[in-house]
Structure 1
Amino acid sequence: MATYLDFEKPIAELQSRIDELRRTAEGGDVDIAAEIAPLQAKSDKFLREAYSRLTPWQKTQVARHPERPHFKHYAAGLIDDFMPLGGDRAFADDQAIIGGLGRFRGRRVLVIGHEKGDDTTSRLKHNFGMGKPEGYRKAIRLMQLADRFGLPVLTLVDTSGAFPGIQAEERGQAEAIARSTEACLNLGVPLVAAILGEGGSGGAVALAAGNKVLMMEHAVYSVISPEGCASILWRTADKAAEAAEAMKVTAQHLLELGVIDGIVPEPLGGAHRDPARAIGALGDAIEGALGELDGLNPDALRQTRRAKFLAMGRAR
């Protein structure tokens, strides 16, 4: 059964009526096409109108949709012969951050990303995509491996933030995130990052300091969640919608600010309504980004990456 967001209630009601009509006609000779067609047209119209004027807070809700495709779906759709590599060789194998070798449209690559999980069991296994220090240290190890063998790195970011638990702090969460960001900036191979859903705080930047940063149309990318920002500024999470507006968390805002390099269009109604099409669109964008980086030597890749991040926040 499809999950509808708060602002999609009119669509949910229409789809419920359509489903009820179809159930009523099952096994009978009643032709209900004439009744369903206008209802479906009205539902499609509501969907187009709703997604043409999403607020930053509504985009945040879409980015968090439980049926939105995650790392494992993109890896399955874009990477051939994917071979996962685990462990940081020091403490443990963090399942919130997955990485491995494979082929992207004929090109050998190394892929790293956050995995949130898509049901209760897998969400607990992957810690809801919130990486721990060993996850970021695993990412560092894999990026160094890619550098050694001259493999482009693709990172798929989808996290509300790094794990905030005391165990993570005891094992050096801040240092691990900083080192992972440093590893991204020091790579002598192309690094293309894509924000799939949520790009939260340092947990996202640790994998997203790339030569090219792409962002799905309804993804969000910010230093803190809207709820966290509202709790600090207004002492209540109830003002999350206002915080989202002020923080400029959407792909459209961030492209204007020069934080990202491109927006990947999503199917009408979000990536969760047509995952295969969304995955294909991201694949095309990644292929284009890698093509722009072909031929650059390690020094040029480092210099352009460094210049890109130093330029952020300056007057344009």
Structure 2
Amino acid sequence: MRVYRPETGKLVRRDEPEPEPQRGEVLVRVRATSLNYRDLLILDGEHFTTGPGGLIPLSDAAGDVVAVGAGVTRFAAGDRVLGNFHSHWIAGRLPETLVGYGNGQDGWLAEYRAVPEHALVALPDSLTYEQGATLPCAAVTAWTSLAGVRPGDVVLTLGTGGVSLFALQLAKQFGARVVATTSSAAKAAKLTGLGADAVIDYRATPEWGQAVLDATGGRGADRIVEVGGPGTFAQSLVAAGTHHAEIALVGFVGADGPPVGFMDLFRSGASLRKIWVGSREDTEDLLRWLAVRPLEPVVDSVHPFDDADGAFERFRSRRNLGKVVISVA
């Protein structure tokens, strides 16, 4: 079978034996995978690793079960499946030890993968493989970031990455008002088309936190899906106002920003919640929601398996608006 492994910061395609499912494992024929920001960091050596070098990259995939090992009861050959982002987090509190795809164990950029049956969920027939492959990291992160959002709440999303776009779409389904930030008129038009009630150009308005307050009549955001980290957190605190907003700490794609002091946090009244994507139960809850309230994932481009390098470069360019997908079939 064909697989990709990193060597000195580049992807190298190899031919390796097709794995055989062991007891409790399922052999999946991978049909589609998608890229996330962490995949670039891992390839560039800028993300923590807990496993050996040269691991197959990518955490997200959808495919078909082609064989099962002894003792498997959750799936059978022919089932359509989706990989959960955390292979061993089933439900409840975050486990003390997590082994990530691509940085702790082999990921999904391969034609076949054998994984424990508990690491998979059923892929609904309403979703294509390409659409399903966009969900495990970005969509589940958006879902858990929005837990508890009620109709009429104000949700703030930052930029046009995968998490932010899913958060916008889901928040609108929840009946929330969405304020989004971006850096260009073209992206602003796309965000408006997806349902954003107000869009702020953070380049034209560096003090966009105040602009969020202005756009909401001084109220500010009830929930902030904070993907920028040090580059955006100070302004997110301003956008939170003083009415006890919740900031879901998702990522750190932004550059370094001004330091935030204790009194800034205290005066904001905001609570902070670190998001670790989600458990298998969270993924299943999201899929149940989508069965009732379907949405179409925003896909920027679909690349064939032999063009994995092109997919990474497309994602690296940051010109994309939506998920970059690799079709393996």
Above 0.5 in TM-score?
no
- In terms of fraction of residues, the more helix-rich structure is 1
Q: Report the structure number with the largest CA radius of gyration.
A: 1
